[in-house]
């Protein structure tokens, strides 16, 4: 069985509760961490040779970099309030300091970078909002760092899937360098479930079924998608949130739909 689920754990001395490194995932680009800080706690890190997008999942904080300070940012106290988050984009070789003004959960999304862009705040007003699909394929999108916004590698988006609905369906994949038809992008999913005692389903599979994993995903689980199709289902009574981080050789999101389910595209107006 492929080890695609990464479980959260009790925060360590730094506050880290989850980590996915490229080495751990067996790929080249995406890194992902989650830190849970209590009010007043601090975190200091360096982006090293990577660009980073700090996503404030919940809570408020001060974020200081080598060049700028962003004070008292953050608005929502829970991702299911479903208002766009505050985020901070950071280039390589940037030291940053986070101080939690309230209890804080922050995601650290990273990927290789040539250092072409300056640090900047991504406020909720900078985040594109959209609804995709209809009926049982309805989902709500926050485009935090889409391909039309400056970055070298990272693509960051969060999705809310209402109870009884599916995301990433009909199933699609982006695991081949075949532009302009398909781009090769690694991807992580960081899940939250409402209520927390619930669960979601995620399947990751390839055409030849050499990879075919059907997973029960719990609150604060992460799923690695190295290749293949990767739909998510929210059971009745359970809203499902996930934060997606993607990166690859080219910073563009082009995908192919599973031919067996392609007929659903027009019917549900999915993408």
Residue 238, pLDDT > 50, answer yes
Query: CA angle, corner 151, sides to 67 and 91, nearest 5?
Result: 30
- Taking only Cα atoms into account, the Rg of the chain, rounded to an integer number of angstroms, comes to 18
* Local structure of 80: helix, strand or coil: helix
Residue 178 neighbours by CB distance under 10 Å: 12
Q: What is the mean pLDDT of residues 119-142?
A: 94
Containing 257, the helix (H) or strand (E) segment is strand 256-257
Q: What is the DSSP letter of 26?
A: T
Sign of the torsion angle spanned by Cα atoms 178, 140, 5, 9: positive
Contact in structure between 223 and 191 (CB atoms under 8 Å): yes
Q: Are 184 and 250 in contact (CB under 8 A)?
A: yes
Pair 88, 50: CB distance under 8 Å: no
- Find how far residue 189's CA is from the centre of its chain: 5
| Digit-coded pLDDT (tens) for 20-41 | 999 999 999 999 999 999 999 9
Helical spans, DSSP H, in the chain: 22-25, 264-268
> In this structure, are residues 155 and 146 in contact, taking their beta carbons and an 8 Å threshold?
yes
**With 80 as the cut, is the pLDDT of residue 2 above it?**
no
* Cis check: omega of the bond before 195, within 30 degrees of 0: yes
pLDDT in tens, 141-184: 999 999 999 999 999 999 999 999 999 999 999 999 999 999 99
Question: On the CB side of 85, how many CA atoms lie within 13 Å of its CA?
Answer: 32
Whether the CB-CB separation of 161 and 236 falls below 8 Å is answered with: no
Helices (H) and strands (E) in the chain, counts: 2, 25
Mean model confidence pLDDT for the chain: 95
Decide yes or no: CATH 2.60.120.10 for domain 5-268.
yes
- d(C-alpha 18, C-alpha 94), whole Å: 22
Task: Please give the share of the chain, as a percent, with pLDDT higher than 90.
Answer: 92
Rounded-to-integer distance, Cα 3 and Cα 6, Å: 8
Residue 255 sits at φ, ψ, to 5 deg, of -130, 165
At 42-92, the pLDDT tens digits run 999 999 999 999 999 999 999 999 889 999 999 999 999 999 999 999 999
CA-based nearest residue to 136, from 223, 264, 1: 264
Does residue 271 register a pLDDT over 70? Answer: no
Tell me the C-alpha distance between 58 and 93, whole Å.
Answer: 26
pTM above 0.85, yes or no: yes
Question: Do the beta carbons of residue 106 and residue 37 sit within 8 Å?
Answer: yes
């Amino acid at each position: 069985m492929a080890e695609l689920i990464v479980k959260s754990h009790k925060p360590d001395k730094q506050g880290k509760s989850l980590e996915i490194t490229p080495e751990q995932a067996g790929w080249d680009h995406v890194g992902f961490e989650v830190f849970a800080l209590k009010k007043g706690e601090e975190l200091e890190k360096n982006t090293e040779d990577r660009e980073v997008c700090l996503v404030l999942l919940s809570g408020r904080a001060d974020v200081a970099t080598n060049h700028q300070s962003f004070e008292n940012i953050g608005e929502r106290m829970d991702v299911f309030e479903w208002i766009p988050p505050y985020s901070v984009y950071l280039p390589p070789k940037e030291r940053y300091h986070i101080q939690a003004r309230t209890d804080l959960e922050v995601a650290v999304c990273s990927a290789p970078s040539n250092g072409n862009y300056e640090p900047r705040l991504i406020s909720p007003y900078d985040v594109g909002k959209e609804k995709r699909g209809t009926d049982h394929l309805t989902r709500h999108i926050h485009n935090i760092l889409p391909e039309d916004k400056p970055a070298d590698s990272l693509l960051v988006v969060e999705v809310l899937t209402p109870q009884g609905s599916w995301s990433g369906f009909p199933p699609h994949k982006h695991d081949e360098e075949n532009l302009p038809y398909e781009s090769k992008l690694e991807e992580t999913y960081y899940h939250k479930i409402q209520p927390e005692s619930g669960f979601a389903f995620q399947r990751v599979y390839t055409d030849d079924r050499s990879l075919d994993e059907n997973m029960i995903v719990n609150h604060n689980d992460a799923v690695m998608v190295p290749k293949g199709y990767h739909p998510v289902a929210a059971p009745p009574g359970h809203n499902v949130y996930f934060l997606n981080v993607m990166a690859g050789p080219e910073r563009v999101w082009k995908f192919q739909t599973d031919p067996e389910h392609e007929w659903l595209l027009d019917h549900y107006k999915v993408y």
